[in-house]
Structure formats: C-alpha cells, structure tokens
Amino acid sequence: MLIQLPEHIRKNATEPKIWIRGFFMLIYAMIYNLAQCAIMGIVFFQFGATVLTGKPHHRLTVFGESLSIYIAQILNYLFYSTEKKPFPLSSWPKLVEKKDSEALELTEPEPPIKKQD
C-alpha cells in the first residue's frame, strides 16, 4: 500500500528552488569542512611563526580574520539565516586595518537592524 503525502509536501518536494538550494548547501558544507582544515594549518603556522619571531605573521592574521568571516557567512547560509551565497558566488570578505588600533573591521557595513513596532 502506498502512503499518500499531503499536497503541500508533494508540492514542496517537486519545487526546483528547494533542490537547488539543497545542492548549494551540500557544496558549502564541503567547503566548510575544507576551511576547518585550513584553520588547523593556520593555527600551527601562526604558533610556529610566534615561536620563531616572537610575533604572529601579519598577513596570515588578516587572512585568518577574513576566513573566520567567510565561515560565518557559510554557516548563516546553511542555517537559512540568509539567502546570499558566500564566495565563490559573491566576493571574498575584505578587511581593513583601523589606524588607531590593531583591530580589524569589515569593509562592508552590516545590514540595518529592523525596528520592532
């Protein structure tokens, strides 16, 4: 005996947009796993650079910051927090140094927070 699915489930299951997003989610989940491996390499290299020179490698620090933002973008896409697809379907997150401190900030502004009525 075949089980009859409700109409809304059959409609959703045949919606191409849902399957396309699922495909991209699978790809970004694999990219996320590769990024985790890159993080381990960066951590060990940074530690080695600190041991040898007394300070972390500056360019790698900047890359690590942008990689952490990229990973957050991937997770936001995977958790349905956004529809914007991360790199390579959008630009890589860029950082600029603040002149008055060592902290880094995003070059793109955060989206405005919606006011609650």
What is residue 110's predicted lDDT score, i.e. its pLDDT?
53
pLDDT band at 68 (very low <50, low <70, confident <90, very high): very high
Three-class DSSP labels, 47-100: HHHHHHHCCCCHHHHHHHHHHHHHHHHHHHHHCCCCCCCCCCCCCCCCEEECCC
pLDDT at 100: 45
Q: How confident is the model at residue 79 (pLDDT cuts 50, 70, 90)?
A: very high
